[in-house]
């Protein structure tokens, strides 16, 4: 039986900072130290919006105790997202030609630019790896990254293979956001594909909606580490433009809703070395509150 570790998908969200941390804990360093007194793992989401900084990674490692684990959300260009030009470091803006959409997002970046993005990403997280505090790299793909037909599935699977090659020294977790990846015969194909490439399938809890960007609950292990993300079940905000990500995931789980997950989490732990249970409902104190509840339920089970 592997161990189960529980944490949240941010420690810096502004609403979480106001609601959960003591008033006297006001600095980034103080908040991380306070967080690490309650949890031993966290997901870093800022690295999706901007390439990680080796300096920040060094400070994160220094400010947390031994055994603490950081999971890093991959930069948006790595996972085929549309990224505003302003999020690119100057070196990329000046070195490579690329097109922009009418909204100012990067379009059709050249492949040598993507190769450099991977290099900078690796460079930015290396201090965590050297400190023994790096967990999984989360590859959260957009809803338009689909497996709707064989040609699309083949091209997008090839991109995952490239991620595996560029990040060969790291553990990868793949989160799909289009249900075509787990429908019909594609489901078994993609699970075998992830096992063959030593990638973790990210299990999710989210609103039960018929939308194509909502996956059914599927708890399977495809690598030695399992990863579960709780997005909340806010049906009204799931596909609505909100002021912030926290607003979209504004949902507090009841104890009954958390308890129903306990057998599935135990089953995952029986097949893996570690299972990470991460709460992404980072509005106010919802994520840490639910994470602590889940840990107590697992300890009592």
Chunk the chain into consecutive blocks of 10 residues (it has 301) and report each block's average pLDDT, rounded to whole numbers.
95 95 94 98 97 97 98 98 94 92 93 97 98 98 96 97 98 97 96 98 93 93 98 83 74 97 97 98 96 96 73
Alpha helix (H) residue ranges in 133-203? 150-166, 184-196
Write down the residue that tokens 């941010």 correspond to: 10
**Parent domain of 38:** 3-300
Q: Give the distance from CA 76 to its chain's centroid.
A: 11
The number of domains in the chain is: 1
Q: Shortest CA distance to 84 belongs to which of 108, 109, 103, 111? A: 103
Q: What is the pLDDT of residue 133?
A: 98
Q: What is the CATH number of the domain that holds 104?
A: 3.20.20.410
Q: What is the pLDDT of residue 241?
A: 74
The answer to whether residues 201 and 194 touch, using CB atoms and an 8 Å cutoff, is: yes
pTM of the model: 0.96
Query: What's 86's DSSP letter?
Result: G
């Amino acid at each position: 039986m592997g161990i189960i570790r529980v944490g949240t998908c941010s420690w810096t969200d502004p609403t979480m900072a106001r609601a959960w941390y003591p008033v006297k804990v006001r600095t980034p360093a103080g908040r991380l130290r306070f967080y690490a007194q309650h949890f031993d793992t966290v997901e870093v989401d800022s690295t999706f919006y901007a390439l990680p900084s080796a300096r920040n990674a060094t400070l994160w490692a220094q400010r947390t105790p031994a055994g603490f684990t950081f999971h890093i959300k991959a930069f948006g260009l790595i996972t085929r997202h549309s990224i505003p030009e302003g999020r690119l470091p100057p070196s990329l803006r000046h070195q490579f030609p690329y097109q922009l959409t009418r909204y100012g997002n990067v379009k059709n970046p050249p492949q040598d630019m993507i190769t450099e993005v991977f290099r900078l990403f690796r460079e930015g997280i290396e201090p965590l790896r050297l400190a023994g505090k790096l967990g999984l790299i989360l590859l959260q793909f957009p809803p338009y990254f689909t497996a709707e037909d064989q040609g699309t599935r083949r091209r997008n699977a090839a991109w995952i293979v490239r991620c595996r090659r560029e990040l060969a020294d790291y553990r990868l977790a793949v989160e799909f956001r289009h249900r075509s990846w787990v429908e019909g015969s594609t489901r078994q194909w993609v699970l075998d594909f992830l096992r063959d490439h030593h990638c973790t399938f990210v299990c999710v809890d989210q609103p039960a909606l018929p939308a194509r960007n909502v996956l059914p609950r599927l708890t399977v292990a495809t690598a030695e580490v399992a990863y579960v993300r709780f997005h909340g079940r806010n049906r009204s905000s799931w596909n609505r433009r909100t002021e912030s990500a926290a607003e979209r995931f504004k949902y507090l789980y009841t104890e009954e809703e958390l308890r129903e997950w306990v057998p599935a989490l135990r089953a995952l732990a029986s097949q893996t070395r570690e299972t990470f249970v991460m709460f992404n409902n980072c509005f106010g104190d919802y994520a840490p509150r639910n994470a602590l509840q889940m840990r107590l339920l697992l300890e009592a089970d």
